[in-house]
Amino acid sequence: MAKAVKKQALGRGLSALLKDPNNDINSVQDKNADKVIGNIVELELSSIEMNPFQPRTNFNEESLRELASSIKELGVIQPITVRKLNFDNYQLVSGERRFRASQSIGLKTIPAYIRIANDQESLEMALVENIQRQDLDPIEIALSYQRLIDEINLTQEQMSERVGKKRSTITNYLRLLKLDPIIQTGMRDGFISMGHGRAIINIEDQNIQLDIYEKILKNKLSVRDTETLVRTYNETQQVEVPKAQAKQEEEMPKFVKKSIKDFSDYFGHKIDIKVSKNGKGKITIPFHSEEDFNRIKKLVQSAK
């Protein structure tokens, strides 16, 4: 606890240094730059603007409220990262969830690492740090990789070094962007997994992609079933659901068939329901992160 207090006190001292016009720091060569760059500094939230290069576009309101509650109790444990624009003016590089949560509970300051970076460096830092640290969905990750290629001119080999991922992993993400936009949306919403997407992408015709996507949702096909379906199509040019899966769908009671969509809409995911011959069954609710699990938990609790 004593160490935490000491760090906060140091941060406030550096904040005062940054507010002194005679000590304006704009490059690593400036006086006192070594005291600020790379250190934790308490910055006023009002002096920080959002990052236009932020790759994350979806922020779960419930998870933000949970983070805000945690910050209210424990403070901001992991500092955000900002870059200095001009005197007492900064731009967010990473940590937008912490920034938003802190704003929502009325905090005036936030601990931050200060970087000196131009627009290109800021974009690269934001993309790389988000890929590494944030719970982005597969399409958001793919879009971040694509931006590193288009706007930073990184090769896949260079990206592999920056983000610590195999080149083949990066290639697999980028290939997802060849999927029909409807399928990409389905992946972002959790109706299908990246494994499903990787199977579908082996078909170039987006109309056929959509046909397969609809059959995945209707028949609750697994990744392996989808791979079989795609392989069968490439061999026969016919989209046929695996017989075992089609039979299971056929035998499902009507009252279950009618309710699947209601369950899926309520929980925000494609729900799997299996029914045995004696009428007993099992409902499976998938989740994709701790935040998603907590969201589903609260939905269950609110239904009591």
Which pTM was predicted?
A: 0.47
Tens digits of residue pLDDT in 129-141? 767 655 678 888 8
Q: Does residue 278 surpass a pLDDT of 50?
A: yes
pLDDT in tens, 19-78: 655 566 665 556 666 666 666 788 899 999 987 766 565 667 777 888 888 888 888 877
204 in active site: no
Residue 2 vs residues 9, 41, 74, 162: alpha-carbon distances, Å: 11, 18, 15, 36
Asked which of 95-104, 149-158, 250-259 is least confident by mean pLDDT, the reply is 250-259
User: What is the mean pLDDT of the segment spanning 178-200?
Assistant: 89
The domains located in the chain, with CATH, are 2-117 (3.90.1530.10), 193-251 (no CATH), 263-302 (no CATH)
Tell me if 1 sits within 8 A of 8, measured CB to CB: no
Q: Where are the alpha helices (DSSP H) in the chain?
A: 2-18, 33-36, 61-74, 96-104, 119-133, 138-152, 156-163, 167-175, 181-188, 194-200, 206-219, 223-236, 243-251, 254-267, 290-302
> For 263-281, what is the HEC assignment?
HHHHHCCCCEEEECCCCCE
| Overall size of the chain counted in residues | 304
Kindly tell me if the per-residue pLDDT of 190 is higher than 60: yes
- Of 42, 62, 66, 96, the catalytic one is 96
Distances (CA, A) of 112 to 83, 121, 194, 244, 270: 10, 18, 34, 56, 39
| Position 96 pLDDT exceeds 80 | yes
pLDDT exceeds 90 at position 112: no
**pLDDT, position 242:** 55
Higher pLDDT, 31 or 265: 265
Query: CA nearest 245: which of 210, 279, 272?
Result: 272
pLDDT band, very low/low/confident/very high, at 176 (cuts 50, 70, 90): very high
What integer pLDDT is reported at residue 196 of this predicted model? 93
Whole-number percent of the chain with pLDDT over 90: 9
Q: Residue 143 in contact with residue 188, Cβ under 8 Å?
A: no
Identify the CA nearest to 223 among candidates 207, 206, 202, 204.
202
- Closest to 110 measured CA to CA, from 101, 120, 122: 101
User: Quick check: 198 and 171 in contact, CB under 8 A?
Assistant: no
pLDDT of residue 175: 92
